[in-house]
């Protein structure tokens, strides 16, 4: 019998870890396909502002998903509720900072794109 209500049998913990890794692998495959599709038909020098922005957003999606998968892997190995709370708190703090930086970068890219469009239209 388990020592505490939070103890999870090793077999179940191993199964959960394999599930997280399988989901990570499937997502990485999807992301690679999306990146190939987004880059199809455009050479590196000739990308439009929209293609560049789409590539940035896809990169941010990859970063955020990796962070979530890393958290899931850590949560599966957590030994007690305090560790779970600490992991979630750390994740939330880092993701809020990452999302703020990403929003600023997207805002700057959009502003630059609009300036370029306005200049080209003139």
With respect to residue 89, please indicate whether it lies within any of the assigned structural domains. yes
With respect to residue 108, please indicate whether it lies within any of the assigned structural domains. yes
**In the predicted model, what is the mean pLDDT of residues 5-19?**
81
**Token code pair at residue 13:** 């913990």
Q: Which domain holds residue 78?
A: 10-121
With respect to residue 2, please indicate whether it lies within any of the assigned structural domains. no
Q: What is the pLDDT of residues 19-73, one digit of tens each?
A: 998 998 888 888 888 877 776 655 544 457 777 888 889 899 999 999 999 999 9
With respect to residue 68, please indicate whether it lies within any of the assigned structural domains. yes
- Give the pLDDT of residue 45: 44
Tell me the CA end-to-end span of the chain in Å, nearest whole number. 76
With respect to residue 39, please indicate whether it lies within any of the assigned structural domains. yes
**Token code pair at residue 83:** 């560790």
Domain count, the chain: 1
**pLDDT of 5 higher than 70:** no
**pLDDT of 3 higher than 70:** no
- Give the pLDDT of residue 113: 74
- Element holding 119 (H helix, E strand): helix 81-121
Q: Residues with Cβ < 8 Å from 99, sequence gap 6 or more?
A: 64
Look up tokens 């999302």; give the residue.
99
Interhelix angle 49-77/10-39, nearest 10 degrees: 180
**pLDDT of 86 higher than 90:** yes
With respect to residue 18, please indicate whether it lies within any of the assigned structural domains. yes
With respect to residue 81, please indicate whether it lies within any of the assigned structural domains. yes
With respect to residue 1, please indicate whether it lies within any of the assigned structural domains. no
- Give the pLDDT of residue 109: 86
pLDDT band (50, 70, 90) for residue 1 = very low
Among residues 31, 84, 82, which one has the least CA distance to residue 58?
31
* CB of 97 closer than 8 Å to CB of 67: no
């Amino acid at each position: 019998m388990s020592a505490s209500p939070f103890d999870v049998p090793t077999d179940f913990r191993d199964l959960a870890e394999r599930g997280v890794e399988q989901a990570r692998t499937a997502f990485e495959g999807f992301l690679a396909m999306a990146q190939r599709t987004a880059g199809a038909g455009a050479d590196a020098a000739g990308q439009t502002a929209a293609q560049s922005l789409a590539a940035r957003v896809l990169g941010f999606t990859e970063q955020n998903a990796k962070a979530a998968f890393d958290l899931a892997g850590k949560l599966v190995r957590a030994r007690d509720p305090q560790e779970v709370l600490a992991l979630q708190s750390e994740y939330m703090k880092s993701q809020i900072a990452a999302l703020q930086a990403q929003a600023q970068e997207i805002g700057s890219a959009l502003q630059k794109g609009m300036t370029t469009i306005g200049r080209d239209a003139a």
